[in-house]
Amino acid sequence: MKALVSLFKLTGAILFLCVCFPANAQNSYSLLFSNTLNENTSDFIEYQPNKFAIVGWSNPNGWLKSTSRAKIWLIGSELDTSTLTFSFGDTAAYFNNICKRTDGTITACGNMYMPPDYEKSYMFFVDFDSLFQIINQKVFVFDGWNKVPIFLMLATNNNGLIGSAIAYADDSTRLCMIRLNDALDMVSNKFYSQSIGLGCDISDMIYSQDSSQLWLFAESAFSTGYDFTVIDTSFNLISFKDFPKYWNSSTMEVQAYSGEATAKLTSDSTFILTGVITIANMNHPPTGDQSMGVSEWDSTMVWTPATIIGSPDTTEYPAWANGIDFINPDSIYFAGTYNMSTGSFYPHTKSWIMTGMLNRELQQQFIHYYGGDAYYQAYVMKCTSDGGVFIVGRRYDYLSIENQDDVYVLKLNKQGLITNINPKISFLKERLAFVSPNPFTDEFTVNLLANKAKMNLLDLSGRSLLTVNLSFGSNGINAEHLKPGVYVLKIQFENGEILVEKIIKQ
């Protein structure tokens, strides 16, 4: 095994591919890294002001492990981008975390799959210099464990790293914590004795305010549902609790968080949390609808009613790896996926990346939608040094022959908008209206994000059947007089833009 580790130290080869755009810094933009390979991402950092490094992987053969390659996308502006592909001998590899340590060193981590069968996987860590040349790398093999994929990584105050992982053996699955020093040497690790479920997923890990504890948010780590686990920095398990439900006796409504929970600390004992939330009402049958919820919690698991993002009849999910962030808790930014498909990883439906802002009372200040020409999914968002928002996600074009995943990036200003449009670059426009439900029976709703617009409902011959002046917010449309069939909805906005969409009456 020592020889194998030495091999990794000697065989890190970098293939540098440059996206040929002239440098021209911008404050806000959208980017699509279109490639014939399947490419995906999971994390990013702002390593210098307005310069971003995104980590992930590329794979020309979909889910075939042996062809996976670790990858980094570097962005200075929409006209200043490059990609780095890393090959480590005959292994397969992917990056899933990146962080900046206290001395400025940039570290990425992920997992390697070993030949010949590419079934066993090991952790690996790579240090980069300012030009993203490899200056140090380590791979860790844990005897008795087939797979130990690292989930999350945090920098320590002494320039080291702490990571959390799920360890898999033939007869056991356990939570694993590791600590590395500044040279990427393993200082300590712990495999907890309690076996956990195969479906366990660590969605977030944050420090307590005094950095003496690690707070983990995970599905089925030490309980049967979503749980909040407290571990000290010596890896002693202090406590774990199930996420409680919120019961409103006046409305007979129950709110429950059930996935993708990410958190941001606001004080020594309170944090803002976002996640997938399910709502049930004791007076009505359950609908099964899932939404993105945001609420304030304390470390005893007491929480306020959640602010629900999006419309009640559409599934909205928070960004998978990080759905909420703020520099000042008076302006809380969020990101997620509108019209999320939960039935397939390769859905044949349209979706949008949604982003917006809440105030300190968790009241929605604005919301914007980008995408809609393919299937989009928000993966991670963070606030930027200039007060804006950076979002990285996935674009899956189900209409193309290749049906490939591509990396999609949004750099937005503090109002969540793209303001600097370069005519040489093709940008997606913000979606300004949504129609639901579709199909409908007697009524449908137009949710307008502009101040006002004019709606015209046409039959397929182009004959106008109904004209309505729309205003900002929810506009209910009564169409019970129409016969079942297909109609054309035309919405004209004040700026001259026109949205045309087919709707169906059942």
Q: Residue 218 burial (CB < 10 Å; 0-12/13-18/19+)?
A: buried
Neighbours of 485 (CB within 10 A): 11
Q: Tokens 């490939």 appear where?
A: 404
Neighbours of 171 (CB within 10 A): 5
Sign of CA dihedral 189, 192, 198, 203: negative
pLDDT by 10s per residue, the chain, length 506: 444 443 343 333 333 233 333 333 347 899 998 877 789 999 999 999 999 999 999 887 666 778 889 999 999 887 789 999 898 888 899 999 999 999 999 999 999 998 888 888 889 999 999 889 999 999 999 988 988 888 899 999 999 999 999 988 888 888 999 999 999 999 999 999 887 766 678 899 999 999 999 999 988 767 667 889 999 999 999 998 889 988 877 777 888 898 889 999 998 889 999 999 888 776 555 555 678 999 999 989 999 889 999 776 678 899 999 999 999 999 999 999 998 887 777 888 889 999 999 999 999 999 999 988 899 999 999 999 999 999 999 999 888 766 688 999 999 999 999 876 554 444 455 567 878 888 888 898 888 877 788 999 988 878 889 999 998 778 899 998 898 998 988 888 877 777 878 888 88
Q: Is 496 left (phi over 0), alpha (psi -120 to 50) or beta?
A: left
The whole-angstrom separation of Cα 10 and Cα 403 is 36
| Secondary element (H or E) of residue 5 | helix 2-10
Backbone angles phi, psi at 178, to 5 degrees: -135, 155
Which residues touch 120 (CB under 8 Å, ≥6 apart)?
Answer: 113, 114, 146, 147
Is residue 399 a contact partner of residue 343, using CB atoms and an 8 Å limit?
no
Neighbours of 312 (CB within 10 A): 11
Domain boundaries, the chain: 243-430, 443-505
The whole-angstrom separation of Cα 231 and Cα 227 is 13
Is residue 242 a contact partner of residue 225, using CB atoms and an 8 Å limit?
yes
The whole-angstrom separation of Cα 506 and Cα 485 is 7
Which residues touch 66 (CB under 8 Å, ≥6 apart)?
Answer: 92, 113, 115, 118
Backbone angles phi, psi at 6, to 5 degrees: -65, -35
DSSP string, 293-322: EEEEEETTS-BPPPEEES-TTS-EEE-SSB
Cα dihedral: 425, 430, 431, 433 (round 10): -140
Which residues touch 486 (CB under 8 Å, ≥6 apart)?
Answer: 460, 502, 503, 504
Helices and strands per DSSP (H, E), number in the chain = 1, 37
pLDDT at 430: 59
pLDDT at 446: 87
The whole-angstrom separation of Cα 261 and Cα 248 is 21
For the structural domain made of 443-505, what CATH number should be given?
Answer: 2.60.40.3110
Q: What is the Cα gyration radius of the chain?
A: 24
H-type alpha helices, 197-307: none
Identity of the amino acid at 441: T
Neighbours of 63 (CB within 10 A): 9
pLDDT at 340: 86
